[in-house]
Structures are given as C-alpha cells and as structure tokens.
Structure 1
Amino acid sequence: MILVPVGETLALGAAAVVARLEDVPVTPDGPDARRWLLDELSKAPYQAAKPNWFDLLSQAVKDWIGSLFGPSSGTLGPLLIVVLAVLIVALIVVAFVVFGLPRLNRRSRTPGEVFGETDRRDADALRRAAEAAAASGDWTTAIEELFRALARGLAERTILTVNPGTTAHGFGARAASAFPAERVRLGEAAGLFDRVRYLGVAGTQHDYTTLGQLEARLRTARPDALAPLDEQAVEQRVGQSGAHGGASR
C-alpha cells in the first residue's frame, strides 16, 4: 500500500471537490462545500491513504532521534548516547557475571575420537554405558567406558583437550598437570585402561570401583591450573623438570 501524507490527501480531496463544483451549475455555500469535502474524503481511496498507528509511531521515533542531533539539542544528544552505551556495556558485564562465558554447545565442541575410538557420546552417556556394563558384570568394558567418560568430562569442562591420537598415558600426564594431587592415581588409571584395552587383561570389580572413585572426584574438582594443550607440551615440561633436577644433583 502506498501511503500519502495527510496534507497531500487533503489537497487531493479539495481538488476533487473543485472538479465536482465545475460540474454543478450552482455555487454551494460554506456548509455545503464543507459537507462535500468530508463526503469526498470519506471514500475508500482516501481512507486507505491515511497513515496507520505504525506509520505515526515510526515518524514519532524518527523525529525524536532527529531532535537528539539537531542544533537545538545542545549537549543533550551526545550525553544520551554516552548513557545508552554505558547501559549496554553494563548489561553485557552483568550477563557474563551471571551466566559465565558463552560456550559452544556440547556436541559441537566434543571431539569425534577418544583413545582410538570414534565416539561422539558425551561424558554422561559414557558414564551410563560404564554403569550398564558393570551391572552386567562386564568389568573390562565398564573400565574402558569410565576412563573415556573421565577424559571426555575434563574436555567438556575445557580443562584439557583430547585430540585424535591422544594416548591414555598422554592424557594422564596432562590431567596430572591440572590435578597434581591425583598424579599417581591418574597414571595408574591410564595403565589400567591400556591393560584391559590393548593387552587383553580382564578388568575386575576392584579396578572399576577404584577408577570410579577417581572419576567422581575429578568430576567436580577445581584444577590447580589448565592442562597443556598437547603431549608435546607435557614432554617439554617433564624434560625441563629433569634438567633442573640433574643440575641440582
């Protein structure tokens, strides 16, 4: 619909009345002319051309914004802009404080491989699979799934990453950098995973229970520091520690 301003609408209506008067042999008095004009403006084309509430609101907003930058606004316009900018920044800061840093959804940041297996299950799903295997007495599968759940859980919390090619011992060393107090138990857990996964050693209920206790502690533990991004960084750190140790001896 093409909108015609009110002034143009009245002009069109007046022109139509004038054309009508040219066809009328008599000259109307004031009330008749006014009535004819109102009758003409009440017709559908003129009513359709009237601005609706949205048009009036849009024009009012445009006029208000224009007044902020007009010559009569003085310093009021820039002051309002500064106030609005401060409010926006404050709202963003409050959002970060309340909700934390935005993160990618779990599926998008979950790697597709963990310890040689293409697997996109999250930590909760891996943990449930371990519990199901343990309930059926399959301790070997339960240990494998629970160790993967441990690694995936730390990756989901962005404490460390598990890249394609990451080994169980590489993961254990990097996790120990974030949780030094669990260094020995993480090394034992990595060795347990390798034995049941690659050496054909049958897992036991005791092994599963011990690993479950470690996984439960690390699930909510606060890291002392973020782990290195890859095994190479761990090796460099270990090498530096060894060099310092040799120098001290």
Structure 2
Amino acid sequence: MRATVLAHFVPPLDPDAPEARRWVVDELAKPEYRAAEPTLFDLAAQAVRDWIASLFSGATGLPVPALALVAVLVVAGLVGLGLLVFGLPRLRRRAPSPVPLFDDGDVRDASALRRAAERAAASGDWRLAVEERFRALVRSLVEREVVRVHPGTTAHGMARAASAPFPAYGPALEHAADSFDGVRYLGHDGDAGTYAEIAALDVGLEATRPLEETATARAVGADA
C-alpha cells in the first residue's frame, strides 16, 4: 500500500511533449538561470564585436596597412560616437590656495583689497588706505603670476622681484614699499598724496605687460 502511494507522487520518467516543455520553462524560470542571462550592455558589446569581426571576414587578401587603417578608422569612429553621446571629459583643475601676504594671514584677493583701500581713503584713514592699496598691488602681481610670495616675504623683497619684469616701475615700487613699511611698522600716518601714488602705481602695473624674458613668476623669499 505504501509503495503504491509513493509511486503516485513520483513524476513520470517519460513525459509527453507538452509536459516536457512545461518542465523546461519552469526550470529556466528559476532565479539562478535569470541571473545568468546577458544584460543589454553585454548584448550591445557582443554586437559591436561581431560587427568589427565581420569587417575583417573574407578580407585576407587586403594588405596589412589597409587592415590597420580600417582598424584605426573603426576605433576613431567609436571614440567620436562616445564623445557625441557623453561629451568631452572635463579636467578639474584645483585652484591653488592663496598665499598670505607678509606673514599676517591675509588671503584677500586684489579686488577685495582695493575696495578696502577705497573705503579707508573715503573715511580719511590714510594709514589703512596706504597699507591696503599696497597689499592690493602685491596680490595683483601674485594673481597674474608675475611674482610668488613665500613666508618671510618683505615689501622691499617684492619690490625688487617685481622690478625685473617691470623695470620702468622699479623706483616707484621701492618708494611704495617704503611707504608701506612706514605706515605698518614705523607708525607713520600716511596721507592722500602717498595713497594716490600707490593707487596710480597699481593701475599702471595692471595695465602694463611684463617683459617676456622675465614673465615667469619670480619667487620672493625673506631675503629677496
């Protein structure tokens, strides 16, 4: 009796055609078979490989240079297609961090320093106006990569370095450095005339192209 019951649940070993198809469909529907199916990317890559292979099929009579040319054209076409679809790659250049001027942590750009100088001049604070405008002059030269400042850079070191690409402004740069040292370190009050001189020097340097042979940024050290 027990053998009869077990035999009732044993699947037939010789199914008919519809039953066999159903077994195959059920088996292929299992997750492990679905995961093994090729993706759309796999199918596209295979299609490209087949297409390239078809270009060379039956081409044994072509000389090697001709085959190489065909291969180059195919690769160039694929690269061009990729650029059309995805665009040109963008190289991200990280802007260098601004270097503080004169060891006091000031990293403002030239425009900000000029605005600060103009506000100080408008309020009659000539000491601050002279100092800020000289800083603006130096920062402008650094931003233009005419000079490079380092820890320990002095006002006169900057003036000497900037005099090489701007020889006509050498004396004015030295005088401006004297004025900066006077208001910053010697307690001078500054005045409207000194501020106007440094402002005119800043404008003149901004409008002047440095000499070609000295256009490369010159490093300015503590003893420069």
Q: TM-score, normalised by structure 1?
A: 0.61
Alpha-carbon distance in structure 1 between the residues aligned to 2:14 and 2:103: 101
Partner residue, 1:179? 166
Out of 5, 9, 12, the position equivalent to 1:24 is 12
Residues 103 and 45 (structure 1 numbering): CA distance in 2 closer, same or farther, change over 3 Å? closer
* Unaligned runs of at least 5 residues, structure 1: 1-21, 89-94, 96-101, 235-249
CA distance in 2 between counterparts of 1:65 and 1:34 reads: 37
SS at match of 1:194: helix
Residue matched to 1:105 = 95
Question: In the alignment, is the contact (CA less than 8 A) between 1:130 and 1:142 conserved in 2?
Answer: yes
SS at match of 2:148: coil
Q: Give me the whole-angstrom Cα distance separating, in 2, the residues matched to 1:42 and 1:197.
A: 83
Residue type at the aligned position of 1:132: R
Q: Does 1:229 align with 2:219?
A: yes
Percent identity between matched residues is 46
Query: What residue is the counterpart of 1:123 in the other structure?
Result: 110
Q: 1:233 to 1:190 in 2, by over 3 A?
A: closer
Q: Retained in 1: the 8 A contact 2:154–2:222?
A: no
Q: Post-superposition shift, 1:177?
A: 0.7
Q: Tell me how far apart the structure 2 counterparts of residues 231 and 144 of structure 1 sit (CA, whole Å).
A: 20
Distance 2:26 2:93 in 1: 64
Q: Distance in 1 between matches of 2:199 and 2:46?
A: 66
Question: What's the CA shift for 1:141?
Answer: 0.5
Query: Gaps spanning 5+ residues in structure 2: where?
Result: 1-9, 81-87
Going by fraction, where is helix more abundant, 1 or 2? Answer: 1
Report the equivalent of 2:197: 210
Q: Which residue type is aligned with residue 43 of structure 2? A: L
Q: Distance in 2 between matches of 1:194 and 1:54?
A: 68
1:135 paired residue among 102, 105, 122: 122
On the 8 A contact 1:152/1:162 being kept in 2, the answer is no
C-alpha separation between the residues in 2 aligned to 1:178 and 1:196?
A: 27
RMSD: 4.1
Q: Hey, what's the Cα distance between the residues in 1 that align with 2:142 and 2:54?
A: 53
Q: Select between 32-41 and 193-202 the one with higher mean Cα deviation.
A: 32-41
What CA distance in whole angstroms lies between the structure 2 residues aligned with 1:129 and 1:146?
A: 8
Higher relative contact order (CA 8 A, sep 6+): 2
Q: How does 1:1-249 map to 2 (within 5 A)?
A: 23-24=11-12, 27-29=15-17, 33-34=20-21, 36-42=23-29, 45-60=32-47, 76=67, 80=72, 104-106=94-96, 108=97, 110-112=98-100, 114-224=101-211, 225-226=214-215, 228-230=218-220
TM-score, length basis structure 2:
0.67
Residues 118, 32 of structure 1: alpha-carbon distance in 2 compared, 3 angstrom cutoff:
closer
Count of paired positions: 197
